[in-house]
Amino acid sequence: MKIALLSRNRKLYSSRRIIEAAEKAGHKVVVIDVLRAYMNVVSHKPSIHYKGQDLTGFDAVIPRIGASVTHYGTAVLRQFEMMGVVSLNESVAITRSRDKLRSLQLLSRKGIGMPLTGYASKPDDIKDVIKMVGGAPLVIKLLQGTQGIGVVLAETQKAAESVIEGFMGVHADILIQEFIKEAGGSDIRCFVIDGKVAAAMKRQGAEGEFRSNLHRGGSSSLIKITPEERSTAVRASQIMGLNVAGVDLLRSNHGPVVMEVNSSPGLEGIEGATGKDIAGMIIDNLEKLQPGKTRTRGHG
Ligand code: ADP
């Protein structure tokens, strides 16, 4: 197969591993920086140009689109889809999962457990929103944040009010969430491929840190997940329409709750913690996908 890897940096661990696994399986990989791709949107013959060349003859595309370029990156991916090229994860599914509020609404509609979550846009309603999610302690999250940046724990009602007021004062979009204290600063990353949890790891925040992000000094280790956690992760990725996903769960008193479904989960942490060849499994799965048999077609 001729595979387009949409990545802004071929040197990143995940990109390197995907290229390695694809080449090992006999495929050819072309790395494409989406910001250098440009398109014509016409009826009948959509095409993509890249640094002056027509991008043709691709069989499959692997999107690894960074959060900051989601809008343009998914437009390029959509163009590939319009040209009949099969994608590991489709543009609609990526767009859904990148919008924290939208994805939580989709998950709640299907009865997936999640932390009690509130959303408001005007400071006048802060007190009532805090009440709706059960009062302090609360976690307040910037909708645009990644890697734990913009995730704040407010221990008291007063702290929560002033943090929310502060974010709203600069017109930031936020979520207000029940604090799952019993998770003890750890979460579980389930790596889902084609309806199965291919690997799982526990991430533990550094001493005194409630955020378990590896970028914030957290550490990862192997974990055995329960059947309920397994089915929650699989269902969450299916609801998003993602073929490959990193589903982040917290162990709460009321069962597993989903925090986030990631459409470009990193490979370094999970391959390091589990010793599994996740990149190889992704390529095996890509080989089985067929264009036109999309799960997300026609669904916003
Ligand atoms: P990001 O997408 O920026 O990583 P997350 O929503 O995943 O933000 O939050 C970062 C970390 O903070 C999580 O991995 C988890 O350890 C912790 N965390 C987030 N939400 C909650 C919550 N409601 N209760 C307890 N811990 C939380």
CB of 204 within 6 A of ligand 1: the answer is no
CB of 55 within 6 A of ligand 1: the answer is no
CB of 210 within 6 A of ligand 1: the answer is yes
Residues pairing with 188 in the sheet? 202, 249
CATH number for the region 2-96 comes to 3.40.50.20
Name the percent of the chain lying above pLDDT 70: 96
Ligand 1 pocket test: pick from 259, 263, 264 the residue with the most ligand atoms within 8 Å of its Cβ. Answer: 259
* pLDDT tens track for 280-296: 999 999 999 976 555 55
Contacts of 66 (CB under 8 A, 6+ apart): 8, 73, 264
CATH topology for 99-113+182-284 is D-amino Acid Aminotransferase; Chain A, domain 1 (3.30.470)
pTM of the model: 0.93
DSSP helix, strand, coil percent of the chain (3-state; round to 5): 35, 25, 35
The residue whose CA has the least distance to atom 12 of ligand 1 is 211
From the options 3.30.1490.20, 1.10.10.10, 3.30.43.10, 3.40.50.720, give the CATH code of 117-179: 3.30.1490.20
Q: In what order do the strands lie in the sheet with 28-32?
A: 28-32, 2-6, 60-63, 86-87
Lowest mean pLDDT among 137-151, 230-244, 247-261: 137-151
Residue 148 CA: nearest ligand 1 atom is 3
Average pLDDT for the chain: 92
Please say if the pLDDT value at position 300 is more than 60: no
CB of 262 within 6 A of ligand 1: the answer is no
Residue 186 CA: nearest ligand 1 atom is 16
Please say if the pLDDT value at position 299 is more than 50: no
Q: Where are the beta strands (DSSP E) in the chain?
A: 2-6, 28-32, 37-40, 47-50, 53-54, 60-63, 86-87, 117-118, 138-142, 151-154, 174-178, 186-193, 196-204, 219-222, 244-252, 255-262
Average pLDDT of the segment spanning 104-132? 91
| Residue-range domain boundaries for the chain | 2-96, 99-113+182-284, 117-179
The residue whose CA has the least distance to atom 5 of ligand 1 is 148
The residue whose CA has the least distance to atom 19 of ligand 1 is 211
